[in-house]
Structure 1
Amino acid sequence: MARVSQEHLDARRRQILDGAALCFARNGFHATSMQDVLKEVDLSAGAVYRYFSGKEELIAAIVGEVLGSVHEAFEGAAKQSPPPPPDLLVGSVLGRTLDTKAALTVDGEPAFPRLVVQVWTETLRNPELARVLRDGYDAVGGAWMRIVEGYQEAGMMRSDLPPEHVARTMIAAVLGFIAQLSLFGPAPVEVLQNGLRALMSMQDTPAES
């Protein structure tokens, strides 16, 4: 029997993950069955279960993959001296993430923002998924703290503010923007970039006596 190439295995895994992501974005985690996933990807149960044991493992893999790529991008930025400014950095990483998932649509709208909201909801009742998400955000937050330290060392940012606070604020801005995409429809990443640029342009002014 001929051996299956790694390229084929990777493509099949990608097919399953993308199909499951569409199902979860469309109907939510609990309303989606493994039969729905099998139908979406047009594969047998044996073919799918070779890669994933069930819905929980599928959603954890989807989350881990996205957060892993985001973490890698921010770690790369943290190694630059100085790192790119926040507006350019966030726009680049978020834009690349959205572009990677652009082919996945539900009713003509991008599926990824809807999927993110579904994941957040599921973490309230799924401790294992909550752990995966927490670990991923901790890694991204750690990278962002190193980016902030780079800004501070380069004199680009006030040094009296805790890097962790800035990191959490930046992550909150991105997550909030994704939530808006899910609730209100598509918008270019430039909207977030311009908002960050406006905030970055503010100058401290002395209070009037």
Structure 2
Amino acid sequence: MTTDRISRQDARRNAIIQAARACFRDKGLHGTSMADIAREAQLGPGQIYRCFQNKDAIVEAIIKVIISARVEHMLAVNHDLVRKADEFTRSLAGIAAFDSRDDALLLEISAEATRNPRIAQLVVEADLNLFEQGCAMLKARYPHLDTIQVNALSEVMAVLTEGTLLRRHVRPHRPIDAQCLQSNYLAILHTLFPDTQSNNTRKKD
């Protein structure tokens, strides 16, 4: 297979993925057909099936794209607690680091997972991927923590992150003091991740 042909196939797959994301946001996973995706992508149904066996395969590709972007972002933040607190605050204020449409799409995928065992498996695998990446980062940053502590901290961070994203979509649009909110987030993060190594160094000095 030539490089040009591979590039065309990759471009077509990406076009299908983007079309499916748009359809899933508008109609939901359950209400979207392969024909809908083909129309949105301006491709024939046969071209869709040559790239993806079924709709679940497209959902799997979408999950991988979103999770990959979030892992890259997690690595970029690199345990900057001030930046993380700011992102939590901005998310609730409607100015998120991630595309809010992807937040809604992930909620839609999670809802579909309650009805579709294959989607449920994909969601579990994606969550495990993020969890393992988070644990690896924490272990590198805090090598003195044992596995039990690292796992617990990763779960708490998942609750903070996913809870914040959910609140963004369901809470009433009432005024909220961003500075106060950020201070509270930062206090929580500093409690979870005290720089014990720096503290020990200062004590020795």
Distance 1:160 1:68, change over 3 A: closer
Distance 1:97 1:47, change over 3 A: farther
CA deviation vs aligned residue, 1:55-88 (integer Å, no higher than 9, x gap):
11111111122223433554x569xxxx533453
- Flag structure 2 segments of 5+ consecutive residues without an equivalent: 195-205
Contact 1:113/1:181 (CA < 8 Å) preserved in 2? no
User: What percent of counterpart residues are identical?
Assistant: 20
CA deviation vs aligned residue, 1:87-117 (integer Å, no higher than 9, x gap):
536849x99962xxx4xxxxxxx42222111
Q: Which residue of 2 aligns with 1:199?
A: 188
Give the Å deviation of 1:178: 2.2
Q: Which residue of 2 aligns with 1:19?
A: 19
Q: Which residue of 2 aligns with 1:112?
A: 102
Residues 1:181 and 2:176 are matched in the alignment: no
In the aligned structure 2, how far is the partner of 1:7 from the partner of 1:196?
44
Q: Which residue of 2 aligns with 1:207?
A: none
CA deviation vs aligned residue, 1:22-46 (integer Å, no higher than 9, x gap):
1111121111111211121111111
In the aligned structure 2, how far is the partner of 1:172 from the partner of 1:54?
32
Note the 1:46-125 alignment, pairs <5 A. Answer: 46-72=46-72, 74=74, 76=75, 83-88=78-83, 91=87, 98=98, 102=99, 110-125=100-115
- Pick the structure with more helix per residue: 2
TM-score by length of 1: 0.69
Letter in 1 for 2:187: A
Q: SS of the residue aligned with 1:43?
A: coil
TM-score by length of 2: 0.70
In the aligned structure 2, how far is the partner of 1:129 from the partner of 1:175?
19
Distance 1:37 1:97, change over 3 A: farther
Letter in 1 for 2:154: A
Give the Å deviation of 1:20: 0.5
Q: Which residue of 2 aligns with 1:139?
A: 129
- Flag structure 1 segments of 5+ consecutive residues without an equivalent: 103-109, 205-209
Distance 1:165 1:77, change over 3 A: farther
Distance 1:201 1:4, change over 3 A: closer
Contact 1:26/1:111 (CA < 8 Å) preserved in 2? no
CA deviation vs aligned residue, 1:157-206 (integer Å, no higher than 9, x gap):
x87971111101112222222223333599xxx898665323235699xx
Letter in 2 for 1:132: L
Q: Which residue of 2 aligns with 1:105?
A: none
Contact 2:24/2:32 (CA < 8 Å) preserved in 1? yes
Distance 1:181 1:125, change over 3 A: same
Note the 1:32-43 alignment, pairs <5 A. Answer: 32-43=32-43
Residues 1:45 and 2:45 are matched in the alignment: yes
Give the stretch that moved more between structures: 190-199 or 134-143.
190-199
In the aligned structure 1, how far is the partner of 2:43 from the partner of 2:172?
32
Give the Å deviation of 1:8: 2.5
Letter in 1 for 2:63: V
